[in-house]
């Protein structure tokens, strides 16, 4: 089993890395479900402060993956989120190559819906890229994405954790004003959305520097593989001047909806020629199966050896009681190979082991039970053979009381013939009707002895 964090979260297996820590699949023992847990060592003060900022973010939106709880334990801290199994947009392009424009419009609309909720909280994400947009594992159904990883996000007006000369984010997805050290603002996030859209449409990371230079003489022509109606929207996102760019995610969604109506519904031209259907893509499960010891309902209990079926195994035998093999034959006495006289040796269960009552039928009085039968207590007998080993055995309360039963052939658990370990056996005490006369006789002898001493 995995490490249990703060008495609640059981770390199962690592599933990736975020901006400021490792991400694990974990079992939440309180909520009884699997979650994604981001774990951070409490060493770097800057990273810890970013961690605190991220876990404090609470945005409830179907297209935002925000923290749901947090905990601290020793030198580590973690916060949890919903566990998404479909990988990221980077995985989707890696699986299928460039995506159809209509599908890209669907994905962008969901991303912009989530970004609208983020911006409504005065939060600038600052790290929008394909790896930070995660997907549900929907198979061939409609994709469902969620914007994640708010490790470097900040609210407008909050103090920055880095010097002005440093830029925080992912190279290749910076807005031009970010490179100049401007304060983070919503249009910078929208610029990153435009770059992400080009990645989805073309299957490769765009050259942001070359793209910015192409705007020196006005809006450039649509790149290969990008339909003109969709490019009109993306061109407004990729304006180098933030004042000429879309200002809100809501405005981009409206323009995107209008462009979607002008797109071909059946097929799209791929870069390099050829066509592909606009649907039929599958969002695969990228996390994989649970490791041994875990099931859909959480950690599995330690497996115990399955008990044999009552129908197959029957009642307990002397062989199982003593740790010896038993033959799967008919009920009766557990037999050993027969001697010359045809009388098989048998093993008695220990006195403390319960046994079913002895059945009726030929051979039981003489000890000639059927081979492989269940061992049972024997009736007491007054006869014995030369060489027989007496073994105590309980018997019913009958006239004559309990006694000893000889083992034919001299074999019993613990002797040399049986091969079993030697075990001490206790003999039952004498019956009351025998013990009382003996006690009276002993008292008389004692009294006579005392009288003799007084006379001398």
Give the relative orientation of helices 228-237 and 186-202 as an angle to the nearest 10 degrees. Answer: 150
Q: Please tell me the distance from the alpha carbon of residue 186 to that of residue 56, in angstroms, as a whole number.
A: 20
CA distances 423 to 322, 347, 349, 415, Å, are 10, 13, 12, 9
Question: Six-digit token pair at 225?
Answer: 């593989």
CA distances 43 to 24, 77, 290, Å, are 19, 11, 31
Phi then psi dihedrals of residue 102, to 5 deg: -65, -40
**22-28, strands of its sheet edge to edge:** 4-5, 9-17, 22-28, 33-41, 76-82, 69-73
**Which segments of 217-339 does DSSP mark as H helices, in order?**
228-237, 249-260, 310-313, 318-322
- Going 443 to 445 to 449 to 454, the CA torsion angle's sign is positive
Which residues sit opposite 76 in a β-bridge? 41, 73
Q: Choosing from 127, 149, 241, 397, which is the catalytic residue? A: 127
CA distances 152 to 4, 49, 51, 75, 134, Å, are 28, 10, 9, 22, 17
Residue 108: how many other CB atoms lie within 10 Å: 24
- 149 is an active site residue: no
The residues annotated with a catalytic role in the active site are: 127
């Amino acid at each position: 089993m995995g490490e249990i964090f703060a008495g609640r979260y059981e770390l199962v297996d690592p599933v990736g890395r975020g901006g400021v820590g490792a991400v694990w699949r974990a079992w939440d023992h309180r909520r009884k479900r699997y979650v994604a847990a981001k774990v951070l060592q409490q060493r770097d003060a800057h990273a810890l402060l970013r961690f605190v900022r991220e876990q404090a973010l609470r945005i409830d939106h179907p297209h935002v993956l925000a923290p749901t709880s947090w905990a601290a334990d020793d030198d580590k801290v973690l916060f949890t989120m919903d566990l998404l199994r479909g990988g990221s947009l980077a995985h989707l392009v890696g699986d299928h190559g460039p995506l159809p424009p209509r599908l890209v419009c669907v994905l962008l609309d969901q991303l912009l819906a989530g970004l609208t909720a983020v911006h409504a909280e005065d939060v600038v994400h600052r790290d929008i890229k394909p790896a930070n947009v995660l997907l549900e594992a929907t198979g061939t159904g409609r994709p469902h994405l969620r914007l994640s990883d708010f490790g470097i996000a900040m609210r407008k007006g909050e103090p920055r954790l880095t010097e002005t000369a440093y830029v925080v984010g992912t190279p290749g997805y910076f807005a031009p004003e970010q490179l100049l050290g401007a304060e983070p603002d919503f249009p910078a996030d929208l610029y990153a959305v435009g770059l992400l859209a080009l990645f989805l449409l073309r299957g490769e990371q765009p050259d942001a520097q070359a793209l910015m230079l192409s705007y020196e003489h006005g809006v450039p022509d649509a790149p290969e593989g990008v339909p003109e109606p969709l490019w009109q929207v993306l061109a407004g996102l990729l304006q180098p001047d933030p004042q000429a760019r879309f200002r809100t995610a809501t405005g981009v969604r409206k323009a995107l909806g209008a462009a979607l109506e002008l797109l071909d519904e059946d097929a799209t031209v791929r870069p390099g020629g050829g066509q592909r259907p606009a649907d039929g893509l599958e969002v695969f499960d990228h996390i994989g199966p649970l490791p041994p010891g875990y099931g859909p309902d959480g950690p599995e209990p330690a497996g115990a050896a399955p008990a044999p079926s009552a129908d197959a195994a029957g009642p307990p035998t002397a062989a199982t009681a003593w740790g010896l093999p038993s033959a799967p034959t008919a009920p009766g006495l557990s037999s050993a190979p027969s001697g010359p006289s045809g009388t098989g040796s048998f093993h008695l269960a220990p006195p403390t082991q319960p046994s079913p009552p002895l059945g009726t039928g030929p051979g039981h009085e003489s000890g000639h039970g059927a081979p492989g039968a269940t061992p049972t207590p024997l009736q007491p007998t007054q006869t014995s053979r030369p060489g027989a080993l007496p073994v105590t055995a309980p018997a019913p309360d009958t006239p004559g009381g309990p006694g000893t039963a000889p083992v034919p052939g001299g074999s019993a658990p613990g002797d040399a013939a049986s091969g079993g370990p030697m075990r001490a056996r206790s003999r039952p005490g004498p019956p009351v009707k025998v013990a009382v006369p003996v006690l009276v006789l002993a008292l008389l002898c004692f009294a006579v002895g005392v009288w003799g001493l007084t006379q001398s």
